[in-house]
Structure 1
Amino acid sequence: MRRLLDALYDSAAALAALFMVGLLGMVLLSIISRQLHFHVPGTDAYAGYLMAAAGFMALAHTLKRGEHIRVTLLLNALRGSMRKGMEVWALGVATLLAVLFAYYSCKLAWQSHEFHDVSTSSDATPLWIPQLSMALGTVVLAIAFLDELVLELMGRRPRPQSDELLRNE
């Protein structure tokens, strides 16, 4: 199961990287088209879609690598069962919020598909297409938070090293 979850997080990160390359392509196309005096409609909109997709798809991988910003001032002052209780409470709340975020992101993409909602910019892209990356990214994030919660409850969640704490704060 651990290999499957890690593969899921790594796959989402790889998709995020592909979206970043696509974003670079859109920006370069926009710059080149301006310099050569031709217009490619929708490049700004697609650059925005790709930027959002890259951000959402990278969320779970970032969480699992301990790169999300955490406020650890109170947590570092606690020891033993108080610290574990605070970690479980924080991860429980984060998991709940991530599940709600995933649910409503999926619901938004589905409603955009059902209502044939399209972008108001010149590209007129069906909005459910770029919203899929948000929905998928939030689902993977919810899985990652649930994974972290289960690992914490089982006592198998790795603790960040001291140099990692300096980097995160």
Structure 2
Amino acid sequence: MTALWGMGMRDWQPFLGLPLWVWLFVIPTLLALACLTAPSRMERALRPLQALLDRLYLWSGVLAAICMVTILLLIVAQMVARWSSLTFPGSTEYAGYAMAATSFFALAHALTRGAHIRVSIFLNTGHHFGLWLDAVAMWIAAITATYFARFAIKTNIMSEMLNDRTQGQDFTPEWLISALKMFVTAPSQWGKLWAETGGDWVYTPVWLPQLPMSIGTLLLALALWDYLCRLLITRRASITSEAVE
């Protein structure tokens, strides 16, 4: 197990003087321990950040809903195209991308609403025992989600480096690709980026439909660390299921 962990950490490059795994795993764990030892102080310090994160989770749910409506519109467009004897190239791929985006954008929002499946049989055995069991389970989930988020982002980077393109019939306008690349390009390079941008439609780069996966897993990891800190501060679970009558 130790050997496998070491092999997995070899490509975790330093960031601001520390290995990346320290920033992703050790520092959040220390923050959670600080919430355990000094709950009142950490509650005051984290309250503005938690309010911002709550809005972020809500907007991720809104994006998931928009993507779900997009699936419906694509299905309707396919039906209209079929009735009109027209072709709608790439419609199946677009619907698949929207379905994946719906799933990943909804992860963090669904967690905050208690919509994820949680086996709570042991949590109901007693408040004290259930509290610590819930904290340990959430800590393990946060580490796992952080690990997946890191490699989801790495997958995005590798797809862009390899210039991997979709094998389907879907196309994307070049201006949209350039607009998204601006977020990871230095402002001094924006002129060159747009000078090389044409008005054609090109095969969709794979990193584009992979973006919701990276964003969704990142938000899920943030939500798990966030609610772990809330649990250790308040000593009660902040994730409650919404009852439907």
Q: Greater helix share, 1 or 2?
A: 1
Q: 1:137 to 1:159 in 2, by over 3 A?
A: closer
Partner of 2:103: 55
Residue 160 of structure 1 aligns with an amino acid whose one-letter code is T
Cross-structure match for 1:6? 54
Task: State yes or no: 1:89 paired with 2:168.
Answer: no
How many angstroms apart in 2 are the aligned matches of 1:7 and 1:156?
A: 22
List per-residue Cα deviations over 1:130-168 (Å, max 9, x = no partner): 10011001111100001111111112533637x84xx7x
Contact between 2:111 and 2:239, CA under 8 Å: does it hold in 1? no
Deviation per CA, 1:17-46, whole angstroms, max 9, x where unpaired?
A: 111122112111111111111111100000
Equivalents in 2 of 1:156, 1:6: separation in Å?
18
**Which position in structure 1 is the counterpart of 2:83?**
35
Equivalent residue for 1:74, pick from 122, 132, 148: 122
Aligned residues: 163
Identify the range of structure 1 (150-159 vs 79-88) with the bigger mean alpha-carbon deviation.
Answer: 150-159
Post-superposition, which runs of at least 4 consecutive aligned residues in structure 1 deviate over 6 A?
none
Match of residue 237 from structure 2: 157
Unpaired runs of 5+ residues, structure 2, are 1-48, 171-202
Give 1:104's aligned amino acid.
F
- Could you tell me which amino acid in structure 2 is paired with residue 137 of structure 1? G
- Return the offset for 1:2: 2.4
Which is higher, the Rg of structure 1 or of structure 2?
2
Check the 8 A contact 2:68/2:102 in 1, yes or no. Answer: yes
Alignment-derived partner of residue 6 in structure 2? none
Q: Is the 8 A contact 2:122 2:130 kept in 1?
A: no
1:103 partner letter: R
Query: 1:159, 1:109 → 2: CA distance?
Result: 31
Identity %: 37
Aligned alpha-carbon RMSD (Å) = 1.7
Among 194, 206, 210, the alignment partner of 1:127 is: 206
Where do 5+ consecutive residues of structure 1 fail to align? none
Which residue of 138, 144, 161 maps to 1:114? 161
Contact 2:160 / 2:205 at 8 angstroms: preserved in 1? yes
The match for 1:23 is: 71
Give the TM-score, by structure 2 length.
0.63
CA contact (8 A) 2:112 2:239 kept: no
Aligned equivalents of 2:80 and 2:163: distance in 1?
33
